[in-house]
Chain A
């Protein structure tokens, strides 16, 4: 029963609130970098509320149920994964939840839901975007999993988030070692792709394929996708903080950790052009996989 409480308060409400706030920070910083004023603080929330009140249009010939289900699936998995992360972060000692494999799996579902939605909408641009998203998942999952292996090895081959957090409590954060730093760098590039931000916003590429998989979405469906993306903007840095930096607490250092990661993501997004999908695949399978493998090897030798 306690998990239902976590599900509603932490997994949904708190994550949405922080996600929207992060989205505002991201937009505001981007605007300031670009000599613009930027939106007011409630703008991300207003956007979502406005979209919720709009009409849902289903394109002719689309697979209706898949088209409508896809955003719900993605949104639900985002709430679920954030609940698991919060539970582990707060009461790591007393929980049986928190298998790393489940978390990685759930973190992939939002991307898969975008692919589902894109293919279901039967639009050439959406299909093109969905196929790009698929290629992108295939490219970044390998280095991401390899990078996540580093904390696992460090904490004595444990797949439980609680154990990883406990290990970091006693021996210092994983990211203080060489292997941890390398793995963190790889993971940051991977979450950039997972978040679909420049330089890896290839599936949505506004000027090429008009927001790709989401092109046919309107109203609540689009609102759910936007909300899911905003939540991921919190969940993914949160996940990295848990496995690499010893978790979030309600103190100043945690805020620095979190804001630092988000700022890094925003800076990368604002200082790069979009790459091509084949360049992205080459980047992740080449240098990133090599770095991640190196980090794993270093972790195995105990560095």
Chain B
């Protein structure tokens, strides 16, 4: 049968962000996939290196609108690792509350979009209505529905007022019954089963080999979660379950995310109720020379930040690795062999976030690529050499 290329992207109603999936198909069957990102590269690491440590937090927050807590969280932890210091207890709890609020709204956003990709627009609208409650709660806590600007190296910027806590608790508790109803509805709907069960299976071995992260790996039976493996914030002080399922198909990824939202509600509730009193900020003045890493569990998986300081007030090097970067290659294992209809929901099932993941591509004015992968690696090695000579390490 003749092979055709079905393009999904660079502009496509499937995703809001520009990305390009080149599906090679025989009839309806996908035989190969090529993913191209790089339509939205903003040079944010470089931008961050030109700001002071405090200002960088705001730049980093704007890497992604949805992970607007995960990136600052990982970044501040990396900066604190340079010194190294421990932030005050109260700040830890507040950070955890904000991070879990983000997980709830991010997973709900994905759940709605997954419904939309399956043509189930009622779920899409209902879930997004539900998400409004969480955004309202976050607005009470931080003053913003998104981009909370709560983080700074050494603590948090804003305190949580005691009189706000009952309102927030009411709002986050109100989503639980609807979510449980939704979970039952999904578990019972035969048409949804037909569309999601056994589709895009990522086996446990493949999940490990591709180093899949977050819900993508946990749906495949890999119990991997930074919150459990190397606890940060208040995660070791509250009760919560790591959600792991075995099948690795789209259905399991849906279930994992819904259950994680329920767990996140649990964590938020405990943190709000047991909020310790005390300082919220260390007021760090100087960052000594050195390097630090910060990694946290973002809604999509482990976000990793590396910060290097030379004793001035700016980071010399700031490196960001978003979870989607690790999850994208799993398409090779999940999409190939499925139909075009299923390809879209499988592509969406890892909850890809391209603006976190954007990588560089150099082209001349005629659109010809100037560097291939090997050239870029060589360039990068040369830059590392230069840095080594400059800083003698």
Q: Which residues of A contact B (CB under 8 A)?
A: 30, 33-36, 124-125, 127-128, 131-132, 198-199, 201-202, 205-210, 270-279
Contacts and interface: CB of A to CB of B under 8 A. Distances in A.
A29 B124 CA distance: 16
Interface stretch (B3-11, B100-108, B290-298, B369-377): B3-11
Contact of B120 (A202, A206, A210, A274): A274
Interface stretch (B34-42, B76-84, B188-196, B274-282): B188-196
A280 to B, nearest CB: 10
Nearest to A278: B339
A34 B192 contact: no
A34 B189 CA distance: 18
Given A124-B5, A207-B14, A276 B341 contact: yes
Instruction: Tell me what chain B mostly uses at the interface: helix, strand, loop, or mixed.
Output: helix
A169 to B, nearest CB: 39
A36 B121 CA distance: 12
A146 to B, nearest CB: 23
A198 B152 CA distance: 48
B278 to A, nearest CB: 42
Interface of B: 4-7, 12-14, 25, 27-28, 115-126, 129, 189, 191-192, 194-195, 339-344
Contacts of B14: 207-208
B5 A205 contact: no
B32 to A, nearest CB: 15
A34 B341 contact: no
A36 B6 contact: no
Contact of A34 (B7, B125, B344): B125
A30 B6 CA distance: 31
Contacts of B120: 198, 272-274
26 contacts: A33-B122, A34-B121, A34-B124, A34-B126, A198-B120, A206-B13, A207-B116, A207-B344, A208-B341, A208-B343, A210-B12, A270-B121, A270-B122, A271-B122, A272-B191, A273-B115, A273-B119, A273-B123, A273-B192, A274-B120, A274-B341, A275-B191, A275-B195, A276-B195, A277-B28, A277-B339
A202 B341 CA distance: 8
A201 B119 CA distance: 8
A210 B15 CA distance: 12
Contacts of B6: 124-125, 128, 209
Given A273-B195, A274-B118, 17 more contacts: A33-B122, A34-B122, A35-B129, A124-B7, A128-B6, A128-B28, A199-B191, A201-B119, A207-B116, A208-B14, A210-B12, A271-B122, A272-B191, A273-B119, A273-B123, A274-B120, A277-B341
A131 B4 CA distance: 14
A162 B14 CA distance: 48
Nearest to A272: B191
A296 B386 CA distance: 83
A34 B14 CA distance: 20
Contact of B194 (A202, A207, A279): A279
Contacts of B195: 273-276, 279
A279 B126 CA distance: 26
A297 B123 CA distance: 40
B348 to A, nearest CB: 9
A208 B344 contact: yes
A205 B121 contact: no
Nearest to A274: B119
Nearest to B15: A207
Contact of B340 (A30, A128, A201): A128
A210 B10 CA distance: 13
B191 A124 contact: no
B340 A207 contact: no
Given A124-B4, A207-B117, A273 B125 contact: no
Contacts of B192: 273
Nearest to B342: A276
